[in-house]
Amino acid sequence: MQQLKGRTAFITGGASGIGLAMGRAFAMAGMKVMLADIETAALDRAIAMLRDVAPDVRGVACDVADAGSVEQAAHVTREAFGNVHILCNNAGVAAGGGIDTISLDNWRWVIDVNLMGVVHGIKAFLPHMRAHGEGGHIVNTASMAGMNGGLGFSPYVASKFAVVGMSEGLWGQLRGEGIGVSVLCPYFVRTRIGESGRNRQAQYGATPSLDPASPAAQMLAELARRLEAGLDPADVAARVLDAIREEKLYVFTHPNMRADVDERFAAIQRAMEGVTG
């Protein structure tokens, strides 16, 4: 999709981090932008910030784990701006765990937001995109955790692998319809995902406490340190904008991660070579 000026974008998790950076990049490209987020105070601040960049920026409260909430946000967006062309299923959360203490509430929360949130977005917007016939693009935020299992047995890894697979399948099905698909797989970016428990919905219970000496707690502490030193979200947004214009399926942000991916693919290839009829 080369021509973006005047088009409309809907972004979940739009009040901060990568979502807010995408909103800014889209606004600067002349697009109309609807930021959607569960954190309403942050959403208000984000809208005020982006209106200094472009006038056609609005916000809507949205819980991506709730299909009805996403449908309502889609309705509000169409009422405000008309046809929607860019859908960014970006909202995401992370929770600790591991194999020693498996919290089912953590799993349900992360899967409902990271995976079902993408499903809810596609369900709410794809029929509309196909009907208006003006073309479009869907960007699903996954992670390098969706390309290798380096973070171990966790709901985050499971959800991001699922988003990668779902995006690949969607890309194949929408080829020829004028609707592109990209799956964003960043490594460490300066976002607040390490604090995502601040928006945890009541139905998933309180965030379980971890023993500070446990492997899971130590891994979370290390992840927090890496996030602080991570890539600027604006750099990620620039890559997303390029992917939309060039209709790229995969969007990577850290070339140094290629070795980890190559190692996994090489192991798969070795295993396939050993398969006999």
Percent with pLDDT over 90 in the chain: 75
pLDDT at 102 over 70: yes
Cβ-proximal residues to 55 (8 Å cutoff; 6+ apart), any chain? none
- CA proximity to 119, closest of 185, 161, 66, 157: 66
Contact 218, 45 (CB under 8 A): no
Q: Would you list the domain boundaries of the chain? A: 8-273
| Integer Cα distance of 32 and 30 in angstroms | 7
> Which pLDDT score is estimated for 217?
60
Interval 37-51: pLDDT, tens: 999 999 999 999 998
Interval 204-243: pLDDT, tens: 998 776 666 666 666 666 666 666 667 999 999 999 999 9
Q: Burial level of 104, CB count in 10 A (0-12/13-18/19+)?
A: exposed
pLDDT at 183 over 90: yes
> Which pLDDT score is estimated for 192?
82
Degrees (nearest 5) of the Cα angle 202, 208, 214?
Answer: 160
* pLDDT tier for residue 101 given thresholds of 50, 70 and 90: confident
Interval 241-273: pLDDT, tens: 999 999 999 999 988 888 888 999 999 999 999
Q: What is the mean pLDDT of the chain?
A: 92
| Integer Cα distance of 193 and 93 in angstroms | 6
Contact 138, 169 (CB under 8 A): no
Residue with tokens 């995902």: 193
Which fold would CATH assign to domain 8-273?
A: Rossmann fold (3.40.50)
End-to-end CA distance of the chain: 44
Q: Which residues are catalytic?
A: 156
- Which whole number is the average pLDDT over 185-189? 92
